[in-house]
Amino acid sequence: MSRETISQSISIVHPISLSHGKNAEVWDTSGKRYIDFVGGIGVLNLGHCHPGVVEAIRDQATQLTHYAFNAAPHAPYIELMDRLTAFMPVDYPVSGMLTNSGAEAAENALKIVRGATGRTAVIAFDGAFHGRTLATLNLNGKVAPYKQKVGVLPGPVYHLPYPSADNGVTCAEALKAMDRLFSVEIDVNDVACFIIEPVQGEGGFLALDIEFAQALRRFCDENNILLIVDEIQSGFGRTGERFAFSRLGIEPDLILLGKSIAGGVPLGAVVGRKALMDNLPKGGLGGTYSGNPIACAAALATLDAMTDEHLKTWGLQQEEAIVSRYQTWCAQGLTPYLGRLTGVGAMRGIELANADGTPASKQLTQLLGLARDAGLLLMPSGKSRHIIRLLAPLTIEPAVLEEGLDILEACLKQLD
């Protein structure tokens, strides 16, 4: 199958062609089976072809395949926003808008905060990833490959160290850097918002320091700065709760949603304080495909499955299996390259590091190939592509999860 018609600027992790999938298993066009620990990069928390999602898509496709909501509202959009805003674990009145992706949600959030504050500056964090569109590129806390060869990016945007027990950056160090930023680089009164991931995805599944999150919330309140939390990858049960910000003891002003919101159908959202969401003039928000009826139907079926009981059970089962296996590997001295276990809940990363603590990027590349040949798909992350992202569906059967971890264990032993 030729790929000459596809842009060579698209990077491919696994050079295979998939044909179909079921829950946590996928098959390529040659019929080879793989256990999927990638999950469409965090999109398939409910697995491939979840029966409820598939049924909802089929039913909706026989009724209304598309209508632009800003031309004429349709019932799936209205019902989804009612359900979605009720699903948000915050105490204030919530409203929002649907988008086509997480990056588009971030772009619209920037418009919303500019309209609400009259300010333009944004503070983001090292290691962050918020999308590949032009404005979100500048939010990302990493140059290669996202910011290369694209020229001047929309701004102003400034970056701070991301404090986490997973990367060794302390709350005190991050606050000191923030103090320097406002002493040297920019007037605090020019800042519209901070944008932060409660658990970094692309950055290596680093869990945000709780003390810093609460200090940041206080700082924003004291200085009339808005706080945007990006839950695009960490949301919809990945950490064992509806959203990862709940473990931080804070409420964001705006929340970015995407990935697992609709069981694999493209959809995103910005939700938050109603006064903020309503501040732009009529027509300031919208989009032709945003909130497509089929995507909304898939999202409604997703919410049906995501009860708190299910999320807690799924999260605990996967977390216990991963942590137990990792601890066993450490005790056995499975490989000299086994580094830290990062993240929280079922959102876990396994670092590969050399004896001197430097990233073992070469070994992770080797591991990707070994695991793929053995029937397991993995995804890299981290600044140096040295942290394995574990993103198996939350609904993975326990036996399939153990089989996948068995393959991972065997491949880790083979690293050289």
Tell me the three state secondary structure of residue 181: helix
Residues 348 and 300 in one domain: no
CATH code where residue 315 lies: 3.90.1150.10
Residues 335 and 221 in one domain: no
Domain encompassing residue 162: 53-305
- Chosen domain end from 305, 330, 346: 305
Give the pLDDT confidence score for residue 134 in this predicted structure.
81
Query: Would you say 128 and 141 are in contact if contact means Cβ atoms under 8 Å apart?
Result: yes
- Domain assignment present for residue 236? The answer is yes
Residues 254 and 160 in one domain: yes
Mean pLDDT of 166-186: 97
CATH code where residue 70 lies: 3.40.640.10
- Domain assignment present for residue 42? The answer is no
Residues 329 and 287 in one domain: no
Q: How confident is the model at residue 1 (pLDDT cuts 50, 70, 90)?
A: low
Q: Of the given ranges (122-136, 200-214, 386-400), which has the lowest mean pLDDT?
A: 122-136
Residues 388 and 340 in one domain: yes
- Domain assignment present for residue 20? The answer is no
Q: Which residue has the higher pLDDT, 174 or 1?
A: 174
Task: Give the residue from 163, 227, 215, 164 showing the smallest Cα distance to 191.
Answer: 227
- Domain assignment present for residue 332? The answer is yes
Residue 38 has pLDDT above 80, yes or no: yes
- Chosen domain end from 262, 286, 305: 305
Residues 121 and 218 in one domain: yes
Residue 314's H or E segment, with its range, is helix 308-332
Give the pLDDT confidence score for residue 2 in this predicted structure.
64
- Domain assignment present for residue 27? The answer is no
Q: How many domains does the chain have?
A: 2
Q: How confident is the model at residue 150 (pLDDT cuts 50, 70, 90)?
A: low
Mean pLDDT of 84-90: 97
Taking the C-alpha atoms of residue 118 and residue 10, their distance in angstroms, rounded to an integer, is 37
Query: Would you say 155 and 138 are in contact if contact means Cβ atoms under 8 Å apart?
Result: yes
Rounded to 10°, the helix 210-222/171-180 angle is 30
- Domain assignment present for residue 166? The answer is yes
Tokens of 397: 């059967």
Cα separations (Å) of 277 from 104, 161, 235, 273, 281?
Answer: 15, 29, 20, 6, 10
What does pTM read for this prediction?
A: 0.95
Q: Estimate to the nearest angstrom the gap between the alpha carbon of 251 and the chain centroid.
A: 18
